[in-house]
Structure 1
Amino acid sequence: MPRSSRMSPGGPRRTLLPALLTLLLSAALALTTLGAPARAAGPGGTWTVHQPGAPRDGVTAVVRLDPADGTLTLTARKGATTVLEPAPLGIVTSAADLASELRADSRHTRQVTERYSMTTGKQLRRTARMTETRFTFTGRDGARLGLVVRVADDGVAYRYVLPGPGTVTVEREASAFRPPAAARAWLTPYSVNYERLYAPATAAGAAPGAYAYPALFQVGNTYALLTESDVDGRYDASRLVHEGDGRYTVRLADPEVTSEGPLATPWRTAVVGDLATVTESTLVDDLAPPSRLADTSWIRPGKVAWSWLDGFGAAQRDLVAQQRFVDLAAAHGWPYALVDDGWKTTDWMPELIAYARQRGVDVLLWVHWTDLDTAAERAEFLPQVKRWGAAGLKIDFMDSDSQERFRWYDDILRDTARHRLLVNFHGATLPKGVQRTWPHVMTLEAVYGAEQGTVPAAGLTALPYTRNAVGSMDYTPMGFQFGTRTVSDAAELALSVVFESGLQNFAGSVAAYRERPELARFLEQVPTVWDETRLLSGLPGESATFARRHGDRWFLGGVHAGEAGTERVRLDFLGGGRWLAEVVRDGEDGGLLRERHVVTRRDVLDVPTAEHGGFAGQICRLTPGRDTCDRPVTRLPLTALTADPARAEADPGGSVAVTGRFAVEESGPATDVRLTLDVPDGWTADGDGTTAAELPAGEALSGDWTVRVPSGVRPGGYDLTVRAEYRAPDRPGSGVLRVERPVRVFVPEPGVTYVSDLPFTTERNGWGPVERDMSNGERDPADGGPLTLAGTVYDKGLGTHAAGEIVVELGGEYRRFTAEVGVDDEVGAKGTVAFEVLGDGRTLLTTGVLDGADPAFPVDMDVTGVRQLTLRVLDGGDGVDSDHADWADARLAP
């Protein structure tokens, strides 16, 4: 601006000084200054915030105060491109309307530079550089509003500051974003768990309604990713509401938010730049508060063997199934196994954790958030699981963005950190910088992920540019045995690189990995945290190819939605010299193929891809004699111990034949193998223990015993134990490894007939088949757990599910029918059922509604002369979810 101004010809000289003062005052408002605050007077003004020395195509934010009505707007530009058109700012509290009739008061600009380290994410060591301008405005009746605007090379953010002590009640924000009407958009409808697909639209053409963060908009070659940062219990989260006019209003989760002042609201955030900027940005974390943990040495991200998609709840209640996934993790060098919903109805968790820790694997435990929603529950549960040796928790079903829920997040994160427990949030809000503030948060779900079973390739390829761009995402890839396959095997493998998550919960079965040895080999090598991230190519909903560096190795991952073709991968991110590149891709026979290439940074890798396909790879320095980038992995043998039969019946003085078989399936050999059978006191077993000095992979050791039941034994159930002991030569410090399998022998009471031993005339069950001598499981026969009511385990009985019915023929031969009935413990306090007993079509008994918290209900009735007995289970009037009903110890006496 010129230092002086010419007077208009013929104008009086006395007007020069006021005009000059007005001009200088306007300049003070319009120019960004450093150091002392600039004072502003008057109702209007326009201010630009940008990085010092920013290039012409740099990011700028423009704040304007309309002199006519005192309203504020913010505009975001990238160079000459307006990415976000002027959209309103302001906030309304119960005490003041700070969205209009504002007057500028002061302005202060400073440079913000922060260096920090993360335990998770796309880049572990970070430097945040932002220009911050703090504005103050005065509203009606002297109410004060602070507006803080930050501009970084990768975006714009703003928040409100309400100064002064006392309680502040926010009724709404006037905040909004306005992309240009024709801007392309990738949006997901809002839901409390963020589990909806992204779909393309335009900014103005998107249907009216609520949309979740992050929302992606494209203007020319520039993108804006809208989200928020620094949300905790002082406030609540928000969503975007499109009224159909192209403006996206910020709508709070609660009707009002109450907090103690001074209050700083969350950052309304726009990551701005090309797609590489969007996917590589750390702006959301840069805006978040620093870590609250001084010591993060105990925090260890890593790969996880997760059994949910290979057996669901039944697998979580089965100790053998969970030991199998621990063994899977140990066989591939993965540090964790996750036990999901169902384990809390069992009593073997300390045993599993001890088993896993002996094999170098830590156990993560699923828990419903309501199990930890009070201080008393946390004070009891968290120390308990820590004493067991659990490494962390998967906490599920929060399903709310309310201020109350964020206060709970504050509490649970403080308490889990105190007990040094890692956290994975499912059914959760979006990451909003929480992983910087609480570094033990390894990942969050908040995605329409692999658990849905049918994620289309176009939806999957939108996620790197949207949901995963703002923080770790627990998509749970590799579930080959589940759902409908929508991408190729190589594309699924690529997700281990394309999707960032501090804990990668790999959802495949043991068989799925065995059928794909190249995939399993790559998963042994790929890390879950990164020193550097590069987007190499791609478009939202179409494709994404990433290079991520961990130490001195680069890992590649590419996935696309569409026809087969060739992916051209530029390697100019590499340093000088020669490199070895190993690529795993889809072969023509449907299997996975590994190829090796010697390359330099000037080369381009041409990778053939299948329909909805992809590839994964790793690149390392080429040194003399090196033919692979693989690093050594410590593996334990993947073994399988079986005991046959698992259940048997024998009369006093009788015998049972038992066979044990111990096999080494992968990662052998096992050495110093010994197979034995333990029997109860007074019982005898004919047969010697079996040994082998070494068992290579693919070989097995078997033992046979004849077990004799004492003649004077009491009726009931007795446990025999087949035990295998062995060593792992690749991990000598692990000592002797043990695995056991029970054989349950039931000695019946003389003269008693158990209903589970009778043929059914007819049967009907609400879920899966009726189970004999076990609880109702999933859809397959004999997949239930032990019949358990109020902590008591029963050897005999029927496992059913409402609505169900069993008919057996008695022929008038029995006098009494007795049983203990109720909701099986495996569903906890859930489930409501009623039981009916009919004899020859006549109702003999109807219980009231029983739930999972009730004790077992005793049934004892006269069935003299009854020819046909009907056992019926009804739902409790609230649907059939979790209605697992047991007819425990159901017996007939003559």
Structure 2
Amino acid sequence: MKTQFIDQSLILAILGVLFLFTSCNVANESPYVESKDGLNKITLSLNEDGALFYNVTRRDSILISDSPLGLNFEDQDFTSGLTIAEISPIEERREKYSLKVGNFKDIDHVFEGRSITFKNSQGALMILDLVAGEEGVAFRYRFPDEDNETRIVQDEITGFQIDQHAKGWLQPYNSAGKYTPGYEDFYFNVNSGDTIREPRNPSVGWCMPALFHVNDEKNWILIAESGNDGSFPGCHLQPNSEGGLYKIAFAKADEKYTLPLAEEEHAYPESSLPWTMPWRVIIIGEQAGDILLSTLITDLAPASNIEDTSWIESGKASWSWWSHPDDHSPEIYNEFTDLADSFGFEYTLFDAGWERANREGGIIDNAVAKGIKPMVWGYSSEYFDPEKRKKRFEELADMGIKGVKIDFWCSDRQEVMAALQSVFEDAANEHLMINLHGATVPRGWHRTWPNFMTAEAVLGTESYFYEPRFPDKAAEQNTVLPFTRNVAGPTDYTPFALTVRKFPRVNTAVHELATAMIYTSGIIHFADSKEVFDSLPVEVQGLLKDMPATWDKTESIVAEPGESIVLFRQNGPLAYIVGINGTNSELPVKLDLAKYGKGFSDFSIITEGENPLMEFKTATSPITPDWSYTLAPKGGFIIQFVNE
């Protein structure tokens, strides 16, 4: 039954008196918030019909021009007839926290924020929270009334007006199917307003995060979402972006192939009040590297819900599925436990079929006895029902298992967003870590639930089995995804896939190795066989043994989405520079190694060997301030600073 919002006439009358005392002529104000450095700014405006708009500027130049805001409930319209009821003072907000996985360990950012209260023609209130910081701006809708009646949002008209001359990197949002949506399509280089062309599967929109080069290519922006606590569906962008206006779209009702979800004509957001909706995030940078390094999505996510996180450890994992997809024997699982042990990996992942192997061969006890932390695969429907999920987590923890890879969610519906939050919480209660596959893109959840270590939501190396276009496009994608998907959260790309599969690889071996250090993932699940690992040069084996799974500090040195990326990475005493080429041409690179190698005398470098597809070459040289190198087509390099 449709109901009306609580009458706010008394509150509004009191507010009106307060406004008189403060001489605040809110009817004529254009509320805004700008970052403390004065560079990034978000400004609101109302037209003569009471429709709400915003724009985003940097250095007073338009990045997102006037774009619509508002929602339509079943019984209330917040898209027109709006007036400003209150404008709060600007307040400083500080987010200081640590991450278990990311480009940085410790984050400390300051924001300016304020809240603007609007009333509609029926007197109901809507609050728009605004924040601005050095890395961008964001806004969210909030409905403060207290009411147990369920409210249903039929439409959100929020849009992002992108100049039609702008180019972007966008990923199609695949329509519902057996394995979709799963954020496993290519990012395509498009012009603002282009229609979807040649997706991997039929598609109904564009994914977030969405990357654009705007302001005559003076700035980059990334449109994303943060703070989805399960009271809202995961959102994407509508496919019809005529004129460069990208509007919010909700998950579809038919996204229910893999989960016991109810049949629904629509999958609209619904909740009782009060209701705080997710942040719409606009990350801003003058270089693409600014986007890659941004933590704005986790800055806006709720703080950690886990008080004691000492049991949560990032690390590396052996994983048999990629090299032996049809072998579920105890022998193969134990072989990969031994591989983890020999390389000093903290984890091994037992994929589908592990339960029978455990009954027959005790693979869990074998891993635990060797000091290797076992993780196991599971199907999403086994973890959807709350009671079954809690019982299952208890059983796994009692077996000595340390984490669960839960696969085939394939839905952004609100029920799924809520279930994921419960998965993180219930797993944390049993000291279990979570890896999501076949799932939605993260939304800053690894801050709120630090036991959420990684997620797929990426067209990763398994695509050498399934996607004929993948080999040709993989290198390009590896220089786009760090600026898009990986900004949203940890990415389980499953790197280092050297063995030739159905669709043969054309990236060099060093490029594939470097992806393990280009992407961030709380647990790096390495592809390929024990034979390949054992055949590697001693120097490459040493890199794999030393390589961290998270970083204290990262700097962007070269940042050209679709072309090349070079990063400086540091974790404790370990320091690296890693680069990859996303093109079919040689690319020259010139670096000041002395700047990044302070405290070190030499550097070792891994490059292409005589057979670039399978072999490596290593060398050690003194650090120089004017080091030059030419990246091979679809190649890479890895530098580790050392003291000889």
TM range, normalised to the smaller chain?
A: 0.7 to 0.9
8 Å CA contact 1:319–1:348 kept in 2: the answer is no
Q: Secondary structure at the match of 2:243?
A: coil
Structure (1 or 2) with the larger CA radius of gyration: 1
Q: What is the letter of the counterpart of residue 619 of structure 2?
A: E
What is residue 141 of structure 1 aligned with on the other side? Answer: 122
What is residue 770 of structure 1 aligned with on the other side? Answer: none
Aligned partner (choices 333, 337, 341) of residue 330 of structure 1 = 341
8 Å CA contact 2:129–2:140 kept in 1: the answer is yes
Aligned partner (choices 224, 244, 247) of residue 246 of structure 1 = 244
- Per-residue CA deviations over 1:587-613 (Å, capped at 9, x if unaligned) read 34532111223226xx13323432210
Aligned partner (choices 34, 52, 64) of residue 50 of structure 1 = 34
Report the CA distance shift for 1:592/1:53 in structure 2 as closer, same or farther (over 3 A).
closer
What is residue 269 of structure 2 aligned with on the other side? Answer: 257
Aligned partner (choices 64, 76, 80) of residue 84 of structure 1 = 64
Are residue 190 (structure 1) and residue 190 (structure 2) matched?
no
Report the CA distance shift for 1:87/1:126 in structure 2 as closer, same or farther (over 3 A).
same
Q: What is the letter of the counterpart of residue 585 of structure 2?
A: E
The correspondence of residues 107-126 of structure 1 with structure 2, limited to 5 A, is 107-108=87-88, 109-126=90-107
Q: Secondary structure at the match of 1:382?
A: helix
What CA distance in whole angstroms lies between the structure 1 residues aligned with 2:29 and 2:161?
Answer: 20
What CA distance in whole angstroms lies between the structure 1 residues aligned with 2:498 and 2:248?
Answer: 39
- Per-residue CA deviations over 1:216-270 (Å, capped at 9, x if unaligned) read 0002121010110011221111101142221100011154211121111100011
Quote how far apart the aligned CAs of 1:581 are: 1.7
Q: What is the letter of the counterpart of residue 335 of structure 1?
A: E
Quote how far apart the aligned CAs of 1:277 are: 1.1
8 Å CA contact 2:330–2:361 kept in 1: the answer is no
Quote how far apart the aligned CAs of 1:575 are: 6.8
Report the CA distance shift for 1:380/1:207 in structure 2 as closer, same or farther (over 3 A).
closer
Quote how far apart the aligned CAs of 1:358 are: 2.0
Q: Secondary structure at the match of 2:604?
A: strand
Q: Secondary structure at the match of 1:250?
A: strand
Are residue 94 (structure 1) and residue 74 (structure 2) matched?
yes
Report the CA distance shift for 1:508/1:520 in structure 2 as closer, same or farther (over 3 A).
farther
Q: Secondary structure at the match of 2:515?
A: helix
Aligned partner (choices 147, 155, 163) of residue 172 of structure 1 = 155
8 Å CA contact 2:554–2:567 kept in 1: the answer is yes
What is residue 217 of structure 1 aligned with on the other side? Answer: 212
What is residue 480 of structure 1 aligned with on the other side? Answer: 498
Quote how far apart the aligned CAs of 1:578 are: 4.9
Are residue 291 (structure 1) and residue 304 (structure 2) matched?
yes
What is residue 526 of structure 1 aligned with on the other side? Answer: 547
Q: Secondary structure at the match of 1:245?
A: helix
8 Å CA contact 1:530–1:548 kept in 2: the answer is yes
Q: What is the letter of the counterpart of residue 274 of structure 2?
A: P
Quote how far apart the aligned CAs of 1:393 are: 0.3
Are residue 235 (structure 1) and residue 232 (structure 2) matched?
yes
- Per-residue CA deviations over 1:306-355 (Å, capped at 9, x if unaligned) read 1111111x32x200000000000100100111011122344438821221
8 Å CA contact 1:61–1:151 kept in 2: the answer is yes
What CA distance in whole angstroms lies between the structure 2 residues aligned with 1:246 and 1:589?
Answer: 46
- Per-residue CA deviations over 1:83-115 (Å, capped at 9, x if unaligned) read 111110111112210111111111112110021
Report the CA distance shift for 1:488/1:170 in structure 2 as closer, same or farther (over 3 A).
same
8 Å CA contact 1:309–1:481 kept in 2: the answer is no
Report the CA distance shift for 1:39/1:160 in structure 2 as closer, same or farther (over 3 A).
farther
What CA distance in whole angstroms lies between the structure 2 residues aligned with 1:380 and 1:72?
Answer: 48
What is residue 268 of structure 1 aligned with on the other side? Answer: 280
What CA distance in whole angstroms lies between the structure 2 residues aligned with 1:104 and 1:474?
Answer: 45
Q: Secondary structure at the match of 1:261?
A: strand
What CA distance in whole angstroms lies between the structure 1 residues aligned with 2:385 and 2:239?
Answer: 37
Report the CA distance shift for 1:153/1:353 in structure 2 as closer, same or farther (over 3 A).
same
Report the CA distance shift for 1:607/1:104 in structure 2 as closer, same or farther (over 3 A).
same
What is the Cα-based RMSD across aligned positions, in Å? 2.1
What is residue 560 of structure 2 aligned with on the other side? Answer: 539
Aligned partner (choices 86, 104, 119) of residue 84 of structure 2 = 104
Query: How many pairs does the alignment contain?
Result: 581
Report the CA distance shift for 1:579/1:153 in structure 2 as closer, same or farther (over 3 A).
farther
Stretch deviating more after TM superposition (280-289 or 245-254)? 245-254
- Per-residue CA deviations over 1:407-459 (Å, capped at 9, x if unaligned) read 21122111100000010000111110100000000001100111111342112
8 Å CA contact 1:183–1:203 kept in 2: the answer is yes
Quote how far apart the aligned CAs of 1:573 are: 4.9
Are residue 360 (structure 1) and residue 364 (structure 2) matched?
no
Are residue 493 (structure 1) and residue 513 (structure 2) matched?
yes
Quote how far apart the aligned CAs of 1:538 are: 2.8
Q: Secondary structure at the match of 1:194?
A: coil
What CA distance in whole angstroms lies between the structure 2 residues aligned with 1:585 and 1:83?
Answer: 40
Aligned partner (choices 506, 509, 529) of residue 526 of structure 2 = 506
What is residue 462 of structure 1 aligned with on the other side? Answer: 480
What CA distance in whole angstroms lies between the structure 1 residues aligned with 2:496 and 2:22?
Answer: 55
Quote how far apart the aligned CAs of 1:499 are: 0.8
Q: What is the letter of the counterpart of residue 139 of structure 1?
A: N
What CA distance in whole angstroms lies between the structure 2 residues aligned with 1:337 and 1:222?
Answer: 42
The correspondence of residues 156-171 of structure 1 with structure 2, limited to 5 A, is 156-166=137-147, 167-171=150-154
- Per-residue CA deviations over 1:776-833 (Å, capped at 9, x if unaligned) read xxxxxxxxxxxxxxxxxxxxxxxxxxxxxxxxxxxxxxxxxxxxxxxxxxxxxxxxxx
What CA distance in whole angstroms lies between the structure 2 residues aligned with 1:568 and 1:103?
Answer: 56
What is residue 436 of structure 1 aligned with on the other side? Answer: 447
Quote how far apart the aligned CAs of 1:305 are: 0.4
Quote how far apart the aligned CAs of 1:619 are: 1.8
What is residue 194 of structure 2 aligned with on the other side? Answer: 205
Are residue 596 (structure 1) and residue 620 (structure 2) matched?
yes
What is residue 566 of structure 1 aligned with on the other side? Answer: 588
8 Å CA contact 2:205–2:236 kept in 1: the answer is yes
8 Å CA contact 1:533–1:546 kept in 2: the answer is yes
What CA distance in whole angstroms lies between the structure 1 residues aligned with 2:360 and 2:571?
Answer: 34
Q: What is the letter of the counterpart of residue 162 of structure 1?
A: F
Q: What is the letter of the counterpart of residue 119 of structure 2?
A: T
What CA distance in whole angstroms lies between the structure 2 residues aligned with 1:417 and 1:556?
Answer: 34
8 Å CA contact 2:600–2:641 kept in 1: the answer is no
Q: Secondary structure at the match of 1:75?
A: strand
Give % identity.
29
Quote how far apart the aligned CAs of 1:497 are: 1.2
More strand by percentage: 1
Q: What is the letter of the counterpart of residue 258 of structure 1?
A: E
Q: Secondary structure at the match of 2:596?
A: coil
What is residue 200 of structure 2 aligned with on the other side? Answer: none
8 Å CA contact 1:305–1:507 kept in 2: the answer is yes
Q: What is the letter of the counterpart of residue 73 of structure 1?
A: F
Aligned partner (choices 112, 115, 135) of residue 154 of structure 1 = 135
- Per-residue CA deviations over 1:273-321 (Å, capped at 9, x if unaligned) read 1212101000000000000000000001100101111111x32x20000
Q: Unaligned regions of 5+ residues in structure 1, if any?
A: 1-24, 30-35, 621-625, 628-894
8 Å CA contact 1:96–1:140 kept in 2: the answer is no
8 Å CA contact 1:310–1:482 kept in 2: the answer is no
What is residue 128 of structure 1 aligned with on the other side? Answer: 109
8 Å CA contact 1:513–1:519 kept in 2: the answer is no
The correspondence of residues 339-350 of structure 1 with structure 2, limited to 5 A, is 339-348=350-359
Report the CA distance shift for 1:207/1:358 in structure 2 as closer, same or farther (over 3 A).
closer
Report the CA distance shift for 1:577/1:528 in structure 2 as closer, same or farther (over 3 A).
closer
